[in-house]
Amino acid sequence: MPKKTRAIKLTDRRGNKPWLKKKGISKYQIDTIEIKRTFLIVCEGQTEELYFRAFPVITARIKACPLGCSKSKLVECTKAIVADESYDEVWCVFDMDVKPDVVGQFEDYNNAIEEAERSGFNTAYSNDAFELWFVLHYQFIDQQQLRTFYYEALGNRWGFRNYDVDGKKRAFANTIYRRTLPDQPTAIRNAQRVFEEVKDIRPYHLQNPVTTAYKLVMALNEHLRQ
């Protein structure tokens, strides 16, 4: 049920009360805004969780959960969460993360996407790494790469000797939304262009490079503070 708004007394409005002249958004004004959409975002890791939590949505409510499990297990856990509480939009966020010595990883990735779709969930999947989404803020990528390529590119961009260590620390991950925001329109265009080139390829693990994170970003952007 939509959250009820707090009414302003007619006598206050007519009296031109000082608190009605305040500029910007206060905690009291936020209470009057209707929550139009609820999002459940289930992620593999901390970086994704903190990035999506940082979106300053005002007409939506976000619950982001980092599970740190396999792709198929992540979808199964998502089912358990929505069995207890309903959401307007449910998103599963995971990446391929190729490991040559792991048997069955392609099947796990493909099955997770298919099962999420059968369950009515949205997917923000990436191949090979979620960090492709960040790199697309700064350059267009249409050649297959492993995550080490994206880590190096981001390390050079953000001044890290080792992104896999320093860039994944909680304190830094909390800054990524703000850091990438000016170039977000570029990233959306680049990600859409990449997706259009590979969207009909099956099985899904052959879509490389690809990231559908932009779809979740666009959905959240509809609820930002103006």
Per-residue pLDDT tens for 93-122?
Answer: 999 988 878 889 999 999 999 999 999 999
User: In the chain, what are the domain boundaries?
Assistant: 34-221
pTM surpassing 0.75? yes
DSSP state letters, 37-99: EEEEEEESSHHHHHHHHTS-BSSEEEEEEE----HHHHHHHHHHHHHHS--SEEEEEEE----
Lowest-confidence segment of 26-35, 55-64, 191-200 by average pLDDT: 26-35
What is the fold, at CATH topology level, of the domain defined by 34-221?
Rossmann fold (3.40.50)
